[in-house]
Structure 1
Amino acid sequence: MFSRTAVRSTVTTSRSNAILSLKARAASPLVSTAAGPCCGPLPNAFMGGKRFIAVYGYTQAKALVYSRYGEPKDVLQLHKHSISPPHGSQVTLRLLAAPLNPADVNQIQGVYPSKPPFQSTLGTSEPSAVAGNEGAFEVIATGANVKNLSKGDWVVMKQTGQGTWRTHAQMDESQLIRIANKDGLSPLQISTVSVNPVTAYRMIKDFCNWDWMRTGEEWLIQNGANSGVGRAAIQLAREWGIKTLNVVRERETPEKTEALRQELRELGATAVVTEAELLSGGFKNQVNELTRNGKEPIRLALNCVGGKSATALAKTLAPGSHLVTYGAMSKQPVSLPSGLLIFKNLAFDGFWVSKWGDKNPQLKENTINDVLQLTRSGRFKDIPVDEIRWSWETEGSALTAGVQETLSGYRDGKGLLKFEGGD
């Protein structure tokens, strides 16, 4: 078993010898000593790459941390530390799964607006931050004053920047959202619910006054339609009776492009076009045909690309509609013709789910529960993932390489850290 929490050591040794052993380990270069309110002064019990049971209820843990900004392969380190027994309203958590999102990598690079603080609470040699913002954890121990969580509960983070790329964590119960009903759900589904699906849900719900009496007669258009947000938007729009016009980048071959089109149609996409088609001179005629010459208006555009792609999306919108930008994959500015503002009275907004969630924790929880209910009923499908299995023996270099690969081109699925250790 990995990462078991021992109430008392099973090693037959005297208290005095145990204390001497602890002092010796504290002086060893193989050992890192955790400190701070959640990680007590008891050192780790590692030797020769093997893990030993910690004494007096301490849990052995590992975390992917960084003490400076840069490329993941250059700055991420796997840090070993100890977590003390929870007290008060604290709970000790074990990782189930954590996705690798672009924002996570941007934080490591130091280019994301929101950055977790560098701290010394895990006993690192330099103040460091734990990477990752999203993930699913299981409660394995609770403090005496914990009211709403129990051992075995599954939770997600209430706010961003709490660090999810770690085998174990200790947090106050107020920092967590309990999954009210985990029956029929997998760690994958729960670990990926709080960023991409919530982003899609809120943009569709909050930036357009849909005429719900016209179910099936209004559209949204989006680029990056095969992304996590795009796939979520397709399924939610289908659930709510909204048609979707979806834009994707061409794949390496026509066959792969067509396979992607079909994959999105199976999720519920009404129509799928390529970026080349979007930017072509004949796209206006294609839109007119789909929307019956505007009788079925395109009311909302979701933009994660920017540049010419965003401009082309805006040109398809009906008067009084909205374009919402939530990403900038092309790294090009959004350029909008003045006529769209003057004569079509279009509105242009940005949406950042991290900031929104921090300001609206209860609404975030409600949104998560709505999406999970759809998932449980089979009406919201999993995203494709590329699992990175994390056991106690996994080397830090293997984990770091997996993170770095998220920066590569086309991928079969989102990177996902899946922890295979025990309590």
Structure 2
Amino acid sequence: MLVSRRLTGARARAPLLASLLEAWCRQGRTTSSYSAFSEPSHVRALVYGNHGDPAKVIQLKNLELTAVEGSDVHVKMLAAPINPSDINMIQGNYGLLPKLPAVGGNEGVGQVIAVGSSVSGLKPGDWVIPANAGLGTWRTEAVFSEEALIGVPKDIPLQSAATLGVNPCTAYRMLVDFEQLQPGDSVIQNASNSGVGQAVIQIASALGLKTINVIRDRPDIKKLTDRLKDLGADYVLTEEELRMPETKNIFKARRNHGDLWRNGQAACNSLCEYAHF
């Protein structure tokens, strides 16, 4: 789910943050009313002062926007997702915990409103994403340091930009850090319909790699299979089909054209602990 200028979709992990997000939505403005050069009347943020159940510790607050000086960058957030890692961070059981009180959200995309006199790599109108986790993206606007941001192209879809920093990077490292794969080689992965899995499919396709994608069976299996193939998947199998004896013919055929990298359970589970949706 994306927290944007107008929240849509009921796929949040309700009722975890539902009431807070609905309150933000009622107070927010639509994307069409967004102006890159308008002065904010106030800044709203989802803040937590202690760790615990997000539905209990998160509060919608008005924050004061600090002045833009030196290497500062004034950013208006356009969209930010809600990830399992965001929830874990609020609960206090994530590997990286920001200093409290903190604003929730590790990913997102914003538009630069103004820059300080020392900023050289960004200008008003640019799109930016966090350079590291823990920046606190569940807010309408903020002033960050230039080094905390990475500029991204504005011609990519908003949702793609907002979710660029975690899953696609994980997918890329899975494909390049373990084996020296060459065009024509094959990759097999489970949880293929997860955010990481879909990124693996697309990146592998761009690199000339073949993908064998394992998913859980479900009533709408054909719809999901077609969607993954539209992304570039070569094979889509359910876990049950993977266990069938005749499936071995797929692997034999792929071995004749290149090495098969079995990232399967071990590699995928170690890097994609939240991949099973």
TM class by shorter chain equals 0.7 to 0.9
1:193 pairs with one of 164, 170, 175: 164
1:241 Cα deviation after fit: 1.4
Q: Name the SS of the counterpart of 1:94 in structure 2.
A: strand
Match status 1:88 vs 2:59: no
Q: Which residue of 2 aligns with 1:299?
A: 261
Structure 1 pair 286/136, CA: closer, same or farther in 2 (3 Å)?
Answer: same
Quote the sequence identity (%).
40
In structure 2, the partner of 1:260 is 224
Runs of 4 or more off by more than 4 Å in structure 1?
none
- Tell whether the 8 Å contact from 2:254 to 2:260 is kept in structure 1 after alignment: no
Q: Structure 1 100/50 Cα, relative in aligned 2: closer, same or farther at 3 Å?
A: closer
Q: Determine which of 115, 121, 139 is the counterpart of 2:112.
A: 139
1:250 to 1:50, Cα distance in 2 relative to 1, 3 A: closer
Per the alignment, residue 219 of structure 1 pairs with 186
1:204 — aligned with what? 175
Quick one: structure 1 residues 91 and 323, their matched pair in 2 at CA, closer, same or farther if it must change by over 3 Å?
Answer: closer
| Matched residue, 1:328 | 273
| Partners of 2:215 and 2:238 within 8 A in 1 | yes
Check the 8 A contact 1:59/1:83 in 2, yes or no: no
1:324, CA displacement in angstroms?
7.0
**Distance in 2 of aligned mates of 1:202 and 1:50:** 37
Given the two structures, how large is their TM-score scaled by the length of structure 1? 0.53
Q: How does 1:2-401 map to 2 (within 5 A)?
A: 60-118=42-100, 128-179=101-152, 181-182=153-154, 184-210=155-181, 212=182, 215-216=183-184, 218-251=185-218, 253=219, 256-278=220-242, 280=243, 282-283=244-245, 285-292=246-253, 294-295=255-256, 296-302=258-264, 310=265, 325-329=270-274
Once the two structures are superposed, residues 231-261 of structure 1 have per-residue CA deviations (whole angstroms, 9 ceiling, x without a partner) of 010011111111111111122x2xx012111
CA deviation digits over 1:46-96, x for unaligned, max 9?
xxx899xxxxx7752011111222232122111111113211111111001
Contact 1:104 1:132 in 2 (8 A): yes
Aligned to 2:119, what secondary structure does the other structure show? coil
CA distance in 1, matches of 2:75, 2:53: 28
Aligned residues: 242
> Contact 1:220–1:245 at 8 Å: present in 2 too?
yes
RMSD of aligned residue pairs (Cα, Å): 2.6
What amino acid does structure 1 have at the position aligned with 2:162?
A: S
Q: Distance in 2 between matches of 1:293 and 1:189?
A: 31
How high is the TM-score relative to the length of structure 2? 0.79
- Which ranges in structure 1 are unaligned for 5 or more consecutive residues? 4-48, 52-56, 119-127, 303-309, 315-321, 331-408, 411-423
Cα shift at 1:159: 1.1
Aligned counterparts of 1:328 and 1:115: Cα–Cα separation in 2:
18
- 1:165 partner SS: coil
* Distance in 1 (alpha carbons) for counterparts of 2:253 and 2:158: 43
Alpha carbons of structure 1 residues 190 and 323: separation in structure 2 relative to 1, 3 Å: closer
Distance 1:139 1:289, change over 3 A: closer
- For 2:254 and 2:114, how far apart are their aligned partners in 1? 60
Cα pair 1:59 1:84 within 8 Å, conserved: no
Deviation string 1:137-158 (CA, Å, 9 cap, x unpaired) is 1111222222222111111111
Higher Rg of the two aligned structures: 1
Using the alignment, how far apart are the partners of 1:151 and 1:171 within structure 2? 14
1:166: Cα distance to partner? 0.7
